[in-house]
Structure 1
């Protein structure tokens, strides 16, 4: 089945739907319409990687520049770790001839290499290996695009989408599973003990605006983080973010998604030093489920971020925090619900990373109303302010926090688009 050919779409066709006129920051100005204006010859139903690349423009390296209005329906599972004949690819297919994990570990052992960043032939070979995989499993998406799953089983497996310098993109009703990097990099300068870091996000926005991510599910699937898989005393981390929003991206709405079973979930703004983000990174998160997410739900720098009616549910003992108050961040949180193990201290729900303000109201923790900021300030002798200097104006109905678990469990995630 070639891209551009037609298969029957579901009875209620959501492909030309646009973001509501008040539905979060994505509705600002001209709003977000994706590929709603696509002509009939730019409406595609795709079932494998090659068809998807063709529908996006024909050549992955150039598809990010393709601004022709288009609607792409995803049917079934599309595995991105495949060649053009849809044959599976893996570690050995991407590995540079000069790369060896055993030699890499021997060369950059902290006892031998120290605290400086790795460099030299083995690090170069690792980077080339990672680049080989990235060119295959990370697909570039251009402006004026809607990508939407058909039915209740549409899935992107083993990689993700990269939206860079694009405008007007809609991603809906898709499960994104296991953007797995075979070639993690050792960084001894990351934290006091160093860390293994990976490159791939399930969905990454950079320098893009007017994006709507709706009714999707994000997880690590059959390859969750293995905290027993360690080198140099640190977890050998094969995953990065589920959804990251960086580098002056703006006017984004993230609604009715499920994020589950992951460590570093969402970062809004990637660096304190990237001051160009100031005045950008305006994002709304509403009616999302964060289930067993360790941290970054989200962590914010610079942006005016509206968080409302989200459900944070954690049953595991590795919970770190949910709201990251980063440098110059301006989070406005209201009517969110937390379900955390009994005895979890409410001050754990947020963490300050050089940020100094968080507006929060009507938060429930296990059915009890709490003042997150006051609790945090008292526990850590901090002075986080409760005013961020702005009030959201773009939103539809805000539900009472007590109703959020039922609404989100019934309506959020891929396969539940009504």
Structure 2
């Protein structure tokens, strides 16, 4: 953990220089402790079948410009902590990690794309403590309870600056809740396919702005779980002013989205500011390649 061997993933992600990290062949990596990723790193699994599983997950703490692409993150557990290298010039004592697949803490300009995830001890992807400028796209999620947490505390209003976009993801079998669960910030949920949830799909507290646009929400057969949304720790008098809007979503099998806030007469943002969307009826096509792709050298993915 302190002196990683050159050529290993832990050695590469802790270097000072910007690096595009790829894999020479397919492999399964078990992380004994959390993998602390330095700024300016691209982890690119294309051309190989890469599993991060049966160990700890990724930590992005106070970093910028990180891309994680084309890998599978399965069956993640907590690391026990200890001395762990976090940069080329520093290592330090770490406490037990939470067991997140990807933990984003005080970081920005992060892109998670074409990643397949299932069964993490805590969250699959958590972004907290003022993290912002995050895009999660083309990913496939299954087999988990609390999928994504954006903003960890009702008392930390530093997350007001948080801006996160979710698009072209597939939220699949045996998921329960938090796709995502949001606090304070601005969240654009675009052209995702929600085919399973057991409690709810999108939730939040502390006045987040959530624009759901062009998603497909297929409700479970359980009549007690038809609502897409869940607001927590707030009375209706409080949350009726929260801006939660559903625009061109496709609501299937009795699903319904409880909107709140002032009625939007026009899009609340311009093309320059946010990604454009297609209607929810397009989602099956837009998300059909969600998850890690099978790519081969010399051929298009």
Aligned residue for 2:261, secondary structure, equals: coil
Q: For 2:276 and 2:290, how far apart are their aligned partners in 1?
A: 16
The aligned residue for residue 155 of structure 1 is: 51
Partner of 2:167: 286
Pair 1:360 & 2:246 matched: yes
Query: In structure 2, what is the equivalent of residue 205 of structure 1?
Result: 104
For residues 76-155 of structure 1, what are the structure 2 equivalents within 5 Å?
76-81=26-31, 136-151=32-47, 153-155=49-51
Structure 1 residues 392 and 175, CA, compared in 2 at 3 Å: closer, same or farther?
A: farther
Alpha-carbon distance in 2 for matches of 1:78, 1:153: 8
**Aligned ranges 1:213-292 → 2 under 5 Å:** 213-220=112-119, 239-278=121-160, 280-291=161-172, 292=174
Q: What is the SS of the residue equivalent to 1:137?
A: coil
Note the C-alpha offset of 1:415: 1.7
Match of 1:330 among 205, 209, 230: 209
**Which structure 1 residue ranges, 5 or more long, are not aligned?**
5-45, 57-62, 82-135, 184-197, 221-237, 375-383
Distance 1:204 1:214 in 2: 15
SS in 1 for 2:175: strand
Query: What's the CA shift for 1:390?
Result: 4.6
User: How far apart are residue 360 of structure 1 and its match?
Assistant: 1.5
Structure 2 residue aligned with 1:295: 177
Answer whether contact 1:168 1:209 (CA < 8 A) is retained.
Answer: yes
Match of 2:17 in 1: 68
The structure with more strand, counted as a fraction of residues: 2
Q: What does residue 41 of structure 1 align with? A: none
Shift in alpha-carbon separation, 1:401–1:142, aligned structure 2, 3 A: same
Pick aligned residue for 1:179 from 76, 80, 91: 76
- Equivalent residue for 2:298? none
Cα deviation, residue 170, structure 1: 0.6
Count of paired positions: 265
| CA–CA distance in structure 2, aligned partners of residues 366 and 345 of structure 1 | 15
SS at match of 1:252: strand
**Given that residues 152 and 415 in structure 1 are in contact (C-alpha distance below 8 angstroms), is that contact kept between their aligned partners in structure 2?**
no
Of Structure 1 and Structure 2, which has the larger fraction of its residues in helix? 1
Cα offset for 1:261? Answer: 0.9
- 8 Å CA contact 2:189–2:213 kept in 1: the answer is yes
Give ranges in structure 2 of 5+ residues lacking alignment: 81-96, 296-300
Secondary structure at 2:12 match in 1: helix
Mapped to 2, the partners of 1:206 and 1:343 lie a distance apart of 36
Does 1:414 find its partner at 2:292? yes
The 5-angstrom pairing of residues 386-397 of structure 1 reads: 390-391=268-269, 393=271, 394-397=273-276
Normalised by the length of structure 1, the TM-score is: 0.58
